[in-house]
Structure 1
Amino acid sequence: MPLSFKPVSGLRLRWSRLFQRAVIAAAISVAGTAALQAGDDQPNSLPPVLQSSKLRLEARLAAEQGDFLHAAVALEQAALVVGDRETAQKAGAGRQQLEAQGGAMADFQSLMTLIMEQTAPPAQWIMRGDETGTMTPYMQGVFVGAPALAGAMAMTFDNSRLSTAAELARTANSNSDVLETSALRLVSLPRLEAEIARLQKSGQPIPADAAALAGLTEVQFLFVFPDSGDVVIGGPAGAWAQDEKGRTVSTASGRPTLQLDDLVTLSRTFADNGRGFFMCTIDPKPQQVQAVQQYASRLQLSARNARQETQKLEELLGLQNVTVAGVPADSRVASVIVDADYQMKLIGIGRRDGAAGMKSYFELAGRDERRGAAMDALRWWMTVGYDAIRVAPDRRAFEFTGRSVRCQSENQLVKVDGSREATGKADSANAEFARLFTEHLPQLAEKDVVFADLQNIFDLALASAMINTMDLDRQAGWQPAVFTTAGGFETQPVEVPRELMTAAASRVYRDGSIVVQVAGGIKVDLREVISNPQSFTTAPEVSSQARNASPVGQTGRWWWDAAVR
């Protein structure tokens, strides 16, 4: 469906009556730079060798989180500090190629090799067969990266609750009405794929129950059953209907149902021959940022003309580029992540309300932040926020827990040419916006379908990534066919904008400060969850939910309800 909204470009301006400071905030996400601090010491206060080591560590962390421009810059600086001109030139060449292409680098194998050679331990990405791995260049929006070797890193636990859950999943109840409410409905992905193949072969359309994945509204469990050849996802489900925008939503909770198209799209993304990530960016054009800087430097802003000048800044920034990669640009996944990115930005600049308890940056900015540095940038992005992935001792039952989406923040420096430099730090108002957004996002998802849809996308992405990374499909003897890129299933195209107009907002404060802000950004990286052993926690009570995952005596059914929840 068409998306009708305006973008935000990531630009913030601050003035006071005593002096004028232009702060250009290109705050759309640069994936993975928030955690790049290696302590509070300033690098230039250390001996050259230690400066270089610290910068190489920064490069390694940036690369593993998907920010390859930041990694290239850090490697270049690390080499220059110790006089290694050859390495500096190689890193500089990679940096220049990324910058010239706006973060899109067609061939970055040489940069990937350099990063692995120059970091200790070497930066790691998911390994695929005999290849050295996959990596993605500098991104600025939604970024979901393939997990690292989660199968080798996952911890096992004495998790009787998960084991019991697996047993429950083997004893389906007698319900055959897909519209009946269920606290735990199970969907076998191999059986669903076989049903889709049967329908296609006979020329029949995809029925509504398959398109809506039997009414599932979230993924809580992931099971693998080698004896029956099943890989199963499970969660709450029930009746659904179309809302005013044509979206399939639960009649009980109003949450959107999971979508077959999204499942297929993400399964292909995280398959062996997939891109291993997906992302979107909403980027202001560098020349437009420069024009705003020049305009702001001579602007005489006052309370009377604040609104008018805000509109002028919107016009100067004009249309911004929307880029989608890793998934089809006309897919429903692309539509959801772009829409969610935009909506978060509007909340950040106070152009729309969030959930109760959320506040815009205007409401949080103190006097020091309103009279801040001459040029800096706000950055907000969303990452996967699951508190833990609970795993059974046999690694065949998993539970996703906690918030699926977490907002993070950073302040960046903006240079004269419009480029941005990461700081790894966020001012208090910026950090507080991210904290409040994360804390109240579940409530926001209850009233705004796009954020619930984003949670569903994250759920399916995590499940798809784990199935491939941990070889759960192979354990079950399932070799996907129709769901693969070469399969015959075609997802329905959705209109996703290629350009979006800039939006801005302003606030006049009692102390005379005037803030004009355009803000935003999202970054999501599954590797941070399933490659981290600490993500897998002990939960003995979980196993009791998995006993229904393979229906006994229910030949031909691809969904069923657990007998006990």
Structure 2
Amino acid sequence: MKLSQARFMIAIAMSCLVAVASQTNAQFGGGGFGNNVGGVSIDPTGVVRSATVQEKQELVNLLRDQVTAPVGDLTAAADLRMVSLSGLQQAIEQSIATGDLLPAEIRYMAGLTGIQYVLLDEQNNDLILAGPAEPWTLSETGSVVGTETGAAILQLEDLVVALRNVENSRAQGISCSIEPTAEGRQRLNAFLGRMKLRPGQNPSALEAGMKQAFGPQMIKLNGIPATSRYACILVAADYQMKRLAMAIEDSPVKGLPSYLQLARNTSHAGSMNPRWWMECEYDSLTRNEEGTVWKLTGQGIRTMTEQDAIAADGTATSAGKSDKLAEKWATSMTERFEQLAKEMPVFGDLQNLMDLTVASTLIVQEQLENRSGLELVVLRDQEMLEMPTLDAPQTIAPECSFIKGRSGWVVTASGGVSINAFQIVHDQQVDTSLTNQVAASRSSTWWWNK
């Protein structure tokens, strides 16, 4: 029996992502393993692989020395915490002058778990980011999360990258994709055409040959440096989405089965393959009439899908339609994204990137530095505040998953992450109920609770 006629679904996805190797940085730390971004191990040639148990533990041990616990008022959560960018820059300058590692309260932006407001404080020549905040801790997987909800904590490193790359992303936005090669698809189809299964044989016996034929999948990044933590978050989140869809990773959220589970006992055309990606989408971005307060509403992420048509030469083009079951899975992931982000912090990190990128784009588009009289020199200057450098992710090895179906399937999981913050900022609306109460609640420190 030819493999293409077997009653199995064959899903090609990516290999495991675990820890990120980075260069030592005098301000942000690192060295050997560096910042965790949802579990990624990238070797110097850009190959992403699964880390060993020992490597995972070494990563957590290293970060434990750097992720110091909050103190004072930062040990309590707040529904709305204000972070002054003027005060933040001053705190960074003071810390740089000592030559020490930036304090955790600076690196983790006073414990913010999201951005709800961007505020212009002309009276104090300041710009303020505001949102919910929690005390932070290091999770067992090496993510920095809130102690109360498990939400991912915003990181200064990502704000800096977002702000410095607004103009770079103007033409085509910020994006990440993990794509099979046309040559790999051709080799896989040829391999499947040659193989035969004995009655009752599981096609997993041919997994090694399938992986070799399919070859590595290529990582493409646009709009941000490939060596940044920001970029590795995009790759890790994209990868984890595909693992969930392809049933390689068990879903930690009730009501979010894999796409393969939804597609069990259904038929599928081998020339049509589903693609999933996550894009930046909020319920609204509103501002007051004076243009001094902006409010972001919504979770910031929506999972999308469409079908790719695979030609005989292995190239893929959009078919202009989507598979109903793929749509169902994308909708389910969107609806459960907030819960998923608490269970798998890399998705929370991705939400934070969306918030930081929209806030940074808003600052540039609305010329808020000029209007406030605050120049974000420290955040923008690479020599003054140097970002850690990671090994850029370039390729991911294939991995297979098998589920019985009515006909032989070969499903390639491609897609990515797309962040078009300019569209979000362009579509802002006026909300006359928004008021600027910053002056009344302002503190002498660089952060305070409202």
- Aligned residue in 1 for 2:243: 346
> Which residue identity is paired with 1:489?
L
> Which residue identity is paired with 2:304?
Q
Task: Work out the CA distance in 2 between the residues paired with 1:340 and 1:235.
Answer: 23
- Aligned residue in 1 for 2:437: 547
Distance verdict in 2 for CA 1:525–1:539, change over 3 Å: farther
Task: Work out the CA distance in 2 between the residues paired with 1:530 and 1:445.
Answer: 22
- Aligned residue in 2 for 1:55: none
Distance verdict in 2 for CA 1:303–1:460, change over 3 Å: farther
Q: Which has the higher strand share?
A: 2
Q: 1:388·1:537 contact (CA, 8 Å) conserved in 2?
A: no
Percent identity of the aligned residues? 28
- Aligned residue in 2 for 1:513: 407
Task: Work out the CA distance in 2 between the residues paired with 1:198 and 1:274.
Answer: 33
- Quick check: which has more Rg, 1 or 2? 1
- Aligned residue in 2 for 1:365: 263
- Aligned residue in 1 for 2:329: 433
Distance verdict in 2 for CA 1:303–1:312, change over 3 Å: farther
* Shift, 1:459, TM fit: 0.9
- Aligned residue in 2 for 1:414: 310
Q: 1:230·1:478 contact (CA, 8 Å) conserved in 2?
A: yes
Equivalences, count? 391
* Shift, 1:422, TM fit: 1.1
- Aligned residue in 2 for 1:297: 193
Choose from 380, 385, 395 the match for 2:281: 385
Question: Which aligned pairs between 1:139-538 and structure 2 lie closer than 5 A?
Answer: 177-271=73-167, 277-300=173-196, 303-354=200-251, 355-365=253-263, 370-509=266-405, 512-527=406-421, 529-530=423-424, 533=427, 536=429, 538=431
Question: Which aligned pairs between 1:64-83 and structure 2 lie closer than 5 A?
Answer: none
Task: Work out the CA distance in 2 between the residues paired with 1:527 and 1:258.
Answer: 18
* Shift, 1:385, TM fit: 2.1
Task: Work out the CA distance in 1 between the residues paired with 2:432 and 2:142.
Answer: 39
Long gaps (5+) in structure 1:
1-12, 28-174
Task: Work out the CA distance in 1 between the residues paired with 2:162 and 2:223.
Answer: 9
SS in structure 2 opposite 1:521?
Answer: strand
Distance verdict in 2 for CA 1:340–1:24, change over 3 Å: closer
* Shift, 1:313, TM fit: 1.7
Distance verdict in 2 for CA 1:377–1:295, change over 3 Å: same
SS in structure 1 opposite 2:201?
Answer: coil
Q: 2:284·2:296 contact (CA, 8 Å) conserved in 1?
A: yes
Task: Work out the CA distance in 2 between the residues paired with 1:239 and 1:479.
Answer: 29
For each residue in 1:70-108, what CA deviation from the matched residue of structure 2 results, as whole angstroms up to 9, or x when unmatched? xxxxxxxxxxxxxxxxxxxxxxxxxxxxxxxxxxxxxxx
> Which residue identity is paired with 2:331?
R
* Shift, 1:291, TM fit: 0.6
> Which residue identity is paired with 2:446?
W
For each residue in 1:100-124, what CA deviation from the matched residue of structure 2 results, as whole angstroms up to 9, or x when unmatched? xxxxxxxxxxxxxxxxxxxxxxxxx
Quote the RMSD (CA, aligned, Å): 3.0
Task: Work out the CA distance in 2 between the residues paired with 1:402 and 1:454.
Answer: 14
Task: Work out the CA distance in 2 between the residues paired with 1:496 and 1:292.
Answer: 27
Distance verdict in 2 for CA 1:203–1:23, change over 3 Å: closer
Task: Work out the CA distance in 2 between the residues paired with 1:390 and 1:477.
Answer: 23
Task: Work out the CA distance in 2 between the residues paired with 1:24 and 1:335.
Answer: 24
> Which residue identity is paired with 2:243?
L
* Shift, 1:528, TM fit: 7.0
Q: 2:238·2:417 contact (CA, 8 Å) conserved in 1?
A: no
SS in structure 1 opposite 2:389?
Answer: coil
* Shift, 1:481, TM fit: 1.1
> Which residue identity is paired with 1:220?
Q
Long gaps (5+) in structure 2:
15-70
Q: 1:314·1:502 contact (CA, 8 Å) conserved in 2?
A: yes
- Aligned residue in 2 for 1:559: 447
Q: 1:504·1:516 contact (CA, 8 Å) conserved in 2?
A: no
Distance verdict in 2 for CA 1:425–1:207, change over 3 Å: same
Distance verdict in 2 for CA 1:531–1:503, change over 3 Å: same
TM-score, normalised with respect to structure 1: 0.63
For each residue in 1:191-244, what CA deviation from the matched residue of structure 2 results, as whole angstroms up to 9, or x when unmatched? 212321232234343111101100111111111122211111111113112223
- Aligned residue in 2 for 1:61: none
Q: 1:383·1:407 contact (CA, 8 Å) conserved in 2?
A: yes
For each residue in 1:366-392, what CA deviation from the matched residue of structure 2 results, as whole angstroms up to 9, or x when unmatched? 76xx43334122110001121111221
Q: 2:285·2:425 contact (CA, 8 Å) conserved in 1?
A: no
For each residue in 1:417-465, what CA deviation from the matched residue of structure 2 results, as whole angstroms up to 9, or x when unmatched? 2211112210111111111111111111121111111111111111111
* Shift, 1:325, TM fit: 3.6
> Which residue identity is paired with 2:205?
Q
* Shift, 1:547, TM fit: 1.4
Task: Work out the CA distance in 2 between the residues paired with 1:23 and 1:514.
Answer: 8
* Shift, 1:270, TM fit: 1.0
SS in structure 1 opposite 2:417?
Answer: coil
> Which residue identity is paired with 2:413?
A
Task: Work out the CA distance in 1 between the residues paired with 2:447 and 2:151.
Answer: 20
Q: 2:136·2:147 contact (CA, 8 Å) conserved in 1?
A: yes
* Shift, 1:179, TM fit: 2.3
For each residue in 1:21-42, what CA deviation from the matched residue of structure 2 results, as whole angstroms up to 9, or x when unmatched? x999899xxxxxxxxxxxxxxx
> Which residue identity is paired with 2:239?
Y
Q: 1:25·1:376 contact (CA, 8 Å) conserved in 2?
A: no
For each residue in 1:345-403, what CA deviation from the matched residue of structure 2 results, as whole angstroms up to 9, or x when unmatched? 01111111222111222222276xx4333412211000112111122112221111112
Distance verdict in 2 for CA 1:215–1:446, change over 3 Å: same
> Which residue identity is paired with 1:373?
A
SS in structure 1 opposite 2:75?
Answer: coil
Question: Which aligned pairs between 1:41-52 and structure 2 lie closer than 5 A?
Answer: none
Q: Which runs of 4+ in 1 moved over 4 A?
A: 13-18, 22-27, 271-276, 549-552
Task: Work out the CA distance in 2 between the residues paired with 1:305 and 1:327.
Answer: 43
SS in structure 1 opposite 2:220?
Answer: strand
For each residue in 1:470-491, what CA deviation from the matched residue of structure 2 results, as whole angstroms up to 9, or x when unmatched? 2122211122212114441012
* Shift, 1:550, TM fit: 7.3
* Shift, 1:319, TM fit: 2.3
Q: 1:504·1:518 contact (CA, 8 Å) conserved in 2?
A: no
SS in structure 2 opposite 1:524?
Answer: strand
